[in-house]
A and B are shown apart, each in its own frame.
Chain A
Amino acid sequence: MIQTPESLIVEDAVLTYGKGEFATPALRGVSLTAKPGEVLLIRGPSGSGKTTLLQLMGAMKEPDKGKVSICGTPTTGLSQKRLRAMRLNRIGFVFQFFNLLSSLRAWENIAAPLDIIGMDRGAAEKRAKALLAEFGLADRADHFPKQLSGGQRQRLAVARAIAHDPPVILADEPTAALDTENGQAVAQILRDLAVKEGRIVVLVSHDHRLEPMVDREITIEDGRVVEERGPARPKSNALRSTLSALIEARRAASGDGRGGSGARQEGPRISSLS
């Protein structure tokens, strides 16, 4: 496949924690490309460097050596402030334990990134409630996170991750804290974000149940890529052309690599879960 400029590219990334005697090499030269419209799964044993890799891809830090480029912008040499702006504009994070803000209602959790971006309250509320409806949580808008089930919380977290419409979704063990049914539902949502909306979706997971949902799998061990498989489920030609159209639409909607909302699907993302 051709590398489009919207891809998330890691080139020969090296990262070592600590110094001297205590130096722990976490990444020893990792290269990969995550493309729009595709779900990339990163697997590997505990301590192999998956989370570290995700942190680099999420503009949380820079590699010691090598390069990370997020939708055409390299993170190299960026100040903390610029990295933050990059996260705010381009990345949606989904965490294992949801990381919702406990003092905010469901819709307010989704509105938080919009507030940080500077959207006015009315518009943020409208967008948050629309997303809640799409995720089957319309009747939970005013609930606090602790009043929601695990599956509902993770769906809310995913809704928050895409509230500001980032082109990249990064998820670290998004299903690990959920039962099979809820895990499947969240995985399906994440897959739709890639396939139907043309986002880059990268998952880090041990969960084998996710395998049929992903397009490509990269296995890392001891800070190195040891295996690359996929596409596990080749997309149909029809889907592929829809996808290119979507990508075009996104590109047209915003010149800076951020997604526009033109590509958004209309119907609910989820219909039969509570």
Chain B
Amino acid sequence: MTTLMAWRNLRQDPIRFAATVIGIVFAVVLISLQTGMLLGFMKTSAGLVENAGADVWIMARGTSNVDQSGLLNESAYYRALTVDGVESVARVVIQFSGWKRPDGGMESVILVGFDPRTGMAAPWNIVEGSRDALLAPNAVMVDRLYADKLGVSKLGDRVEIVERMAVIAGFTSGVRTFTQSPYVFTSYNNALRYTNVEHGGASYMLVKAKPGVEPAALAERLGAVLTKEEVLTTSDFASRTRQYWILTTGAGSALIMGAALGGLVGVIIVAQTLYSATVERLAEYATLTAIGAGTGYLNRIVLTQSLIAGGIGFTVAAVIASVLAASSASSPAAVLLPPLAIATIGILTLALCAIASLLAIRKLYTIDPTSVFR
């Protein structure tokens, strides 16, 4: 019956009910989008690391993220090959570079020179052209998301990378960059022409482990041999990169602050409307107390009110946020809202609503049953 009372109490003041729900929807959409962007950033920032197909990364000491690194010389490659448990090693170039659009405008890009022999650090999600097409001199591949930004639209379009000609030989889809500089894929040999990397050198040496070899154990063995370099497993390097971009740039805290602000606004709106609704009904709550209802019974009515409003608000917000997330699939900043994230936000919403009801519940504790008599 407390549920019935809660529902009727809400319905008796439809305007306040609507205001409460709208407040919750606003807050939950904000929380969802901020969370979704954070999740998107986490996926994007380490996307290259996770999709390169390597088990272990060898890099210059002090490398903080995949997009910015020092250079390794050829000896690292051969020393890595001597280590037990190594299946293959690939030289990969990942370096910032300048891109001149056909219309003459300049863009900053990150050049990724992959290893055709092992396929490590090759482009993924290819929708036009093929990986092998990148073996041709000057052939490059970019993502559809950045085609406009880079001033290209179709295969065969010509641009310049550091004053050398490059031809579009393919497009990927959904290969995002966390920085504003899109990834431009090409073969290792092509990459050498566009960068200052010496033949045989690389930004990274990517290692594939033999079947059954633990990446962590292999990384340790490699580290013992490559003492001047740094050796990390793919997952360690991915989280280092993620941490660098999300934390060091302040992107993470900005998103979390935004989400927290949304939560705070929601809690204040719910607390305020629930409190005034409770104060208006204090005489009825006092009647229930006089009859013999305990504070638990009254609390249940108020709490249920907040949970009903929270449930409705969350459902509406989840639909809105999912639509927005889906429509972001074709934008450079992905909003990722997997079911687990939505469920977690749902639980969080109900928890925040419960917290918001505390103000009203506190009021219930002040009820004096004798107030029913005048």
Give the size of the chain B interface in residues (CB under 8 angstroms): 24
CB distance from A129 to the nearest CB of B (A): 15
A104 at the interface (CB under 8 A from B): yes
Known: A113-B292, A116-B293. A99 touches B374 (CB 8 A): no
A73 at the interface (CB under 8 A from B): no
Known: A84-B289, A93-B291, A113-B292. A99 touches B8 (CB 8 A): no
A103 at the interface (CB under 8 A from B): yes
B373 at the interface (CB under 8 A from A): yes
Which residues of A46-67 have CB atoms within 8 Å of chain B's CB atoms? 51, 54-55, 58, 60-61
CB distance from B283 to the nearest CB of A (A): 7
B332 at the interface (CB under 8 A from A): no
Known: A95-B373, A103-B5, A116-B297. A87 touches B12 (CB 8 A): no
With CB as the reference atom, state the residue of chain B lying closest to A85.
B292
Known: A60-B290, A87-B292, A88-B292. A112 touches B370 (CB 8 A): no
Q: Say yes or no: B292 contacts A89, CB within 8 Å.
A: yes
B9 at the interface (CB under 8 A from A): yes
User: Quick one: which of A60, A99, A103 contacts B370, CB cutoff 8 A?
Assistant: A60
User: Quick one: which of A61, A111, A172 contacts B1, CB cutoff 8 A?
Assistant: A111
B369 at the interface (CB under 8 A from A): yes
B198 at the interface (CB under 8 A from A): no
For the complex, give the distance between the alpha carbons of A208 and B2 in Å.
40
CB-CB under 8 A from B9, the residues of chain A are 103
Main SS class of interface, A: helix
CB-CB under 8 A from A121, the residues of chain B are 1
CB distance from B144 to the nearest CB of A (A): 56
User: Quick one: which of B11, B292, B372 contacts A116, CB cutoff 8 A?
Assistant: B292
Interface centre among B290, B373, B374 (most CB of A within 10 A): B373
Q: Say yes or no: A115 contacts B370, CB within 8 Å.
A: no
For the complex, give the distance between the alpha carbons of A104 and B287 in Å.
13
CB-CB under 8 A from B12, the residues of chain A are 102-103
B288 at the interface (CB under 8 A from A): yes
Q: Say yes or no: A55 contacts B370, CB within 8 Å.
A: yes
Q: Say yes or no: A112 contacts B288, CB within 8 Å.
A: yes
Known: A54-B373, A55-B373. A101 touches B287 (CB 8 A): yes
Which residues of B322-361 have CB atoms within 8 Å of chain A's CB atoms? none
For the complex, give the distance between the alpha carbons of A90 and B374 in Å.
22
With CB as the reference atom, state the residue of chain B lying closest to A81.
B294
Interface centre among B2, B11, B293 (most CB of A within 10 A): B293
With CB as the reference atom, state the residue of chain B lying closest to A55.
B370
With CB as the reference atom, state the residue of chain B lying closest to A87.
B292
With CB as the reference atom, state the residue of chain A lying closest to B287.
A99
With CB as the reference atom, state the residue of chain A lying closest to B294.
A84
Which residues of B142-183 have CB atoms within 8 Å of chain A's CB atoms? none
With CB as the reference atom, state the residue of chain B lying closest to A101.
B284
Which residues of A63-115 have CB atoms within 8 Å of chain B's CB atoms? 81, 84-89, 91, 93, 95-97, 99, 101-104, 108, 111-113, 115
CB-CB under 8 A from B292, the residues of chain A are 84-89, 91, 113, 116-117
Give the interface residue-count category, chain A. Answer: 20 to 34
CB-CB under 8 A from B11, the residues of chain A are 103
CB distance from A100 to the nearest CB of B (A): 8
CB-CB under 8 A from B297, the residues of chain A are 116
CB-CB under 8 A from B293, the residues of chain A are 84, 88, 116
CB-CB under 8 A from B370, the residues of chain A are 55, 60-61
B4 at the interface (CB under 8 A from A): yes
With CB as the reference atom, state the residue of chain B lying closest to A90.
B292
With CB as the reference atom, state the residue of chain A lying closest to B371.
A60
CB-CB under 8 A from A86, the residues of chain B are 292
CB distance from A79 to the nearest CB of B (A): 11
Interface centre among A85, A88, A91, A101 (most CB of B within 10 A): A101
CB-CB under 8 A from B8, the residues of chain A are 103-104
With CB as the reference atom, state the residue of chain B lying closest to A204.
B373
For the complex, give the distance between the alpha carbons of A54 and B290 in Å.
12
User: Quick one: which of A81, A85, A88, A172 contacts B373, CB cutoff 8 A?
Assistant: A172
CB-CB under 8 A from A172, the residues of chain B are 373
Interface centre among B290, B292, B293, B294 (most CB of A within 10 A): B292
CB-CB under 8 A from A61, the residues of chain B are 370
Known: A103-B5, A108-B4, A116-B297. A51 touches B290 (CB 8 A): no
CB-CB under 8 A from B291, the residues of chain A are 87-88, 93, 112-113, 116
For the complex, give the distance between the alpha carbons of A30 and B59 in Å.
93
For the complex, give the distance between the alpha carbons of A87 and B2 in Å.
20
For the complex, give the distance between the alpha carbons of A104 and B8 in Å.
7
CB distance from A31 to the nearest CB of B (A): 21
With CB as the reference atom, state the residue of chain B lying closest to A92.
B291
User: Quick one: which of B5, B283, B290, B373 contacts A104, CB cutoff 8 A?
Assistant: B5
Q: Say yes or no: A51 contacts B373, CB within 8 Å.
A: yes
CB distance from B94 to the nearest CB of A (A): 65
Can you report 6 A-B residue pairs in the complex whose CB atoms are below 8 A from each other? Answer: A54-B373, A60-B369, A95-B287, A99-B283, A101-B288, A117-B292
Which 4 residue pairs across A and B have the least CB separation, nearest first? Answer: A88-B292, A103-B8, A115-B1, A87-B292
Instruction: Please list the residues of chain A having a beta carbon within 8 angstroms of any beta carbon in chain B.
Output: 51, 54-55, 58, 60-61, 81, 84-89, 91, 93, 95-97, 99, 101-104, 108, 111-113, 115-117, 121, 124, 172
- Give 19 A-B pairs besides A95-B372, A102-B284, A172-B373 with Cβ atoms closer than 8 angstroms: A51-B374, A54-B373, A60-B290, A61-B370, A84-B369, A86-B292, A88-B291, A88-B293, A93-B372, A95-B287, A96-B374, A101-B284, A103-B5, A104-B5, A108-B4, A112-B288, A112-B291, A113-B292, A117-B292
